[in-house]
A and B are shown apart, each in its own frame.
Chain A
Amino acid sequence: MTAAKNHTEVENGIEVIDVSKQFGDFEALKDVNLSVPDGSMTALLGPSGSGKSTLLRAIAGLENPSQGKIFISGEDQTGKPVRSRNVGFVFQHYAAFKHMTVFENIAFGPKVRKWPKQKIKDRVNELIELVQLNGLGKRYPSQLSGGQRQRMALARALAVEPTVLLLDEPFGALDAKVRKDLRTWLRRLHDEVHVTTIFVTHDQEEAMDIAEQIVVMNEGQIEQTGSATELYDEPVNDFVMGFVGEVNSIGGRLVRPHDTQVFPNEVEDSTRVEVDRIVRLGFSGRIEMLTDPDKREIWAQLTRSELETLNLEPGSPAWVKPAPDAVTREDTGALEAAVTAESPATDKPTPSMPGLPV
């Protein structure tokens, strides 16, 4: 899927070639190469400090790369200021012009471009409708909710009909419910307006939910680019495997919880654990366990009948090992090093996971 796109549609999308960025001694980006197909929605996914925001800002022109080139729609944008790149940029904390009304905020870009008055008015009203802020045009940003402010910021970015839309952690400052609604809404909006979109996130669920292409970044480099399914089924290394989807670390290898086999007795190549909790969720269920000497949490996802056959109790010993055909990667500790500070909740399977036998 990506291979075909790489050759046919790329000239109208975004092309990042060998881009590096240094902040003093710190290398924020190291020789990054990336193709974003025209009209697609791409997620830059990674832990904080992985360089994903820097890459987005470099594409926008808000940062100048120390080396490398950036093409948008086949045009070399390297060194051009942000104002001449025709990009729409949405910031995590909205960056609302707080002294202007919703209408004035959205009208800012068209006004700078000296559109005729009536055209500006029509365009702004059209956008207010598109982002569902009807009747709020005369409000100030301080009178809007977080979700409304971000929709206003989106409308403002779209007002000048940008070639690309860049969103930096657009839902990061919102609470869980609004976040989920807004990202579904963004996906639908994208299907309507079809502008090439890149968004930055540290939330794998968000990336998998709405992006066609996910770029997994770590320490200033791209680890892997692909669809959610590709990243999940064929991760190139333990970092990608652990960052996209759930993993257990068993005997020095990462394995998915649904590929984790549990035995009541010791079998060959298995690791001894202690059963901590058994959770039954209708058809499926999970066993939460602690590895024996170092008490790390792991869990296995099983069907109800598997659970009943095992018949384990909290506190009883058990043995685990990866299933024979399981995808496993050597645990180099890369994931732990990168996400120690912001490890996502590990006890819930991702509901929208493709290919997950829930």
Chain B
Amino acid sequence: MSEVTAIDAGEPRPRKAFFRLPGAGQALNKGLVVMYLGLMVLLPIVAITSKAFENGISGFIDAVTAPQAVAALELTVICSLIVVVINAIMGTMIAWVLVRDKFPGQKIVNSVIDLPFALPTIVASLILLTIYGADSPLGIHLAFTKPAIVVALLFVTLPFVVRAVQPLLLSLDRDMEAAAESLGARKWLIFRRIIFPNLAPGIATGIALAFARALGEFGSLVLVSGNIPFQTEVASVYIRGQIEFDRLASASAVSVVLLAVSLALLFCVTLAQRWGLRHDR
């Protein structure tokens, strides 16, 4: 007994010394993190931006205002926006059903949600081509049309809103709804005034992630969209085309535009979230 106590008492000392980082160690840690992020995130952004402006500002403007580039960017942004709106509604509904309803096979459905995200995108494209292509078993011939792009993007971005809303819904205090009802509120009013404001930060996160993913999506579109210039050619496919023609500066310029749109949206969502969560500070 006394031996055990002696060992127990003696052990924490070296451990403490290991975990208690001196000031210098913390500075080193911070430095390491900053350097890592710099190398992994900042450097590529700087590199692509400088490449985009290789031929000066006029070169950049020429590249991004080329009719085919404008068409591709427009198509990408519009499709992504449509996808995000549908996702916000359907994702919230799916999360709701998964959390609040009980039905047989619920667990299976819950685990299937991530599949479109986890699937290799080219496989996704092939699946979509099989379903909506010329030999469609459903008789729906969407392949090589704009709706096909929207459907493919919906497929790969399905989990984002669901997974962002689910935990919020789980931790939502059900008594709040009961309290609102006891004060005279009907179901829809309870959703609008009590439930939705508490889910909004999750919906916003899901939207941001889905939009970012949709903007840059390549693999799942490359087969099913048909890549017809001015019609079904999305930005990522256009960029790939430019690279194939060895127009690296032009590819970089369009990439920078995508990057800017992504960052702008992330910024807006962060602002919206901070406003939505003002009561938590």
Residues of B within 8 A of A142 (CB): 279-281
Within 8 Å of chain A (Cβ to Cβ): is B175? yes
Q: Please, how many angstroms separate the alpha-carbon atoms of A93 and B176 in the complex?
A: 10
Within 8 Å of chain A (Cβ to Cβ): is B183? yes
Partner of A91, one of B178, B181, B193, B281: B178
CB distance A95 to B176 under 8 Å? yes
Within 8 Å of chain A (Cβ to Cβ): is B90? no
CB distance A83 to B175 under 8 Å? no
CB distance A140 to B279 under 8 Å? yes
CB distance B189 to A112 under 8 Å? yes
Within 8 A of A (CB), among B111-130: none
Cβ distance B5 to chain A, nearest Cβ, rounded Å: 30
Cβ distance B249 to chain A, nearest Cβ, rounded Å: 48
Within 8 Å of chain A (Cβ to Cβ): is B131? no
Within 8 Å of chain A (Cβ to Cβ): is B182? yes
Q: Please, how many angstroms separate the alpha-carbon atoms of A113 and B185 in the complex?
A: 8
Cβ distance A64 to chain B, nearest Cβ, rounded Å: 13
Cβ distance B183 to chain A, nearest Cβ, rounded Å: 4
Within 8 A of A (CB), among B156-211: 173, 175-176, 178-186, 189, 193-194, 197-198
Contact string against B for A residues 122-146, beta-carbon threshold 8 Å, 1 for contact and 0 otherwise: 0000000000000000001110000
Known contacts A89-B178, A93-B173: A99-B279 contact under CB 8 Å: yes
Q: Please, how many angstroms separate the alpha-carbon atoms of A61 and B180 in the complex?
A: 13
Query: In this complex, what residue of B is CB-closest to A104?
Result: B193
Within 8 Å of chain B (Cβ to Cβ): is A280? no
Q: Please, how many angstroms separate the alpha-carbon atoms of A92 and B189 in the complex?
A: 24
CB distance B178 to A99 under 8 Å? no
Residues of B within 8 A of A140 (CB): 278-280
Residues of B within 8 A of A160 (CB): 183-184
Within 8 Å of chain B (Cβ to Cβ): is A82? yes
Q: Please, how many angstroms separate the alpha-carbon atoms of A93 and B174 in the complex?
A: 11
Q: Please, how many angstroms separate the alpha-carbon atoms of A96 and B198 in the complex?
A: 12
CB distance B280 to A91 under 8 Å? no
Contact string against B for A residues 73-106, beta-carbon threshold 8 Å, 1 for contact and 0 otherwise: 0000000011110011101010111111100000
CB distance B186 to A83 under 8 Å? yes
CB distance A83 to B173 under 8 Å? no
Residues of A within 8 A of B197 (CB): 99
Residues of B within 8 A of A91 (CB): 175, 178-179
Cβ distance B234 to chain A, nearest Cβ, rounded Å: 38
Residues of A within 8 A of B184 (CB): 83-84, 109, 112-113, 160
Within 8 A of B (CB), among A141-200: 141-142, 153, 156-157, 159-160
Known contacts A140-B279, A141-B279, A142-B279: A97-B182 contact under CB 8 Å: no
CB distance A87 to B173 under 8 Å? no
Known contacts A156-B183, A160-B184: A97-B176 contact under CB 8 Å: yes
Cβ distance B110 to chain A, nearest Cβ, rounded Å: 24
Known contacts A95-B173, A98-B198: A81-B279 contact under CB 8 Å: no
Q: How many A residues touch the partner, as a band?
A: 20 to 34
Query: In this complex, what residue of A is CB-closest to B279?
Result: A140
CB distance A82 to B182 under 8 Å? yes
Residues of A within 8 A of B180 (CB): 97, 108, 112
Number of cross-chain contacts by CB at 8 Å: 74
CB distance A62 to B178 under 8 Å? yes
CB distance B185 to A112 under 8 Å? yes
Q: Please, how many angstroms separate the alpha-carbon atoms of A28 and B247 in the complex?
A: 75
Q: Please, how many angstroms separate the alpha-carbon atoms of A98 and B172 in the complex?
A: 10
Q: Please, how many angstroms separate the alpha-carbon atoms of A99 and B182 in the complex?
A: 18
Cβ distance A87 to chain B, nearest Cβ, rounded Å: 6
Q: Please, how many angstroms separate the alpha-carbon atoms of A95 and B177 in the complex?
A: 8
Residues of A within 8 A of B185 (CB): 83, 108, 112
Known contacts A95-B173, A112-B189, A113-B184: A156-B179 contact under CB 8 Å: yes
CB distance A95 to B179 under 8 Å? yes
Residues of A within 8 A of B179 (CB): 89, 91, 95, 97, 153, 156
Partner of B183, one of A61, A100, A108: A108
Give the one of A89, A99, A142, A160 with max B CB within 10 A: A99
Query: In this complex, what residue of B is CB-closest to A112?
Result: B184
CB distance B280 to A95 under 8 Å? no
Q: Please, how many angstroms separate the alpha-carbon atoms of A113 and B181 in the complex?
A: 12
Within 8 Å of chain B (Cβ to Cβ): is A60? yes
Partner of B279, one of A82, A95, A98: A98
Query: In this complex, what residue of B is CB-closest to A99?
Result: B197
Partner of A89, one of B182, B193, B278: B182
Contact string against B for A residues 202-242, beta-carbon threshold 8 Å, 1 for contact and 0 otherwise: 00000000000000000000000000000000000000000
Cβ distance A10 to chain B, nearest Cβ, rounded Å: 24
Q: Please, how many angstroms separate the alpha-carbon atoms of A62 and B219 in the complex?
A: 51
Query: In this complex, what residue of B is CB-closest to A62?
Result: B178
Within 8 A of B (CB), among A307-322: none
Cβ distance A77 to chain B, nearest Cβ, rounded Å: 13
Having A62-B181, A113-B184, one finds 20 other A-B pairs with CB under 8 Å, namely A81-B181, A82-B178, A82-B181, A82-B182, A83-B181, A88-B182, A89-B179, A91-B178, A93-B173, A95-B176, A98-B176, A98-B198, A99-B276, A108-B183, A109-B184, A141-B279, A156-B179, A156-B183, A157-B182, A157-B183
30 contacts between A and B (CB under 8 A): A60-B182, A61-B182, A62-B182, A82-B181, A82-B182, A83-B183, A83-B184, A83-B186, A88-B182, A89-B179, A91-B175, A91-B178, A93-B175, A95-B175, A95-B178, A95-B179, A96-B176, A97-B176, A97-B179, A97-B180, A98-B279, A101-B279, A112-B180, A112-B185, A112-B189, A140-B279, A142-B281, A157-B182, A159-B183, A160-B183
Q: Lowest 7 CB-CB distances: which A-B pairs, in order?
A: A95-B175, A109-B183, A140-B279, A95-B179, A89-B182, A112-B184, A99-B197
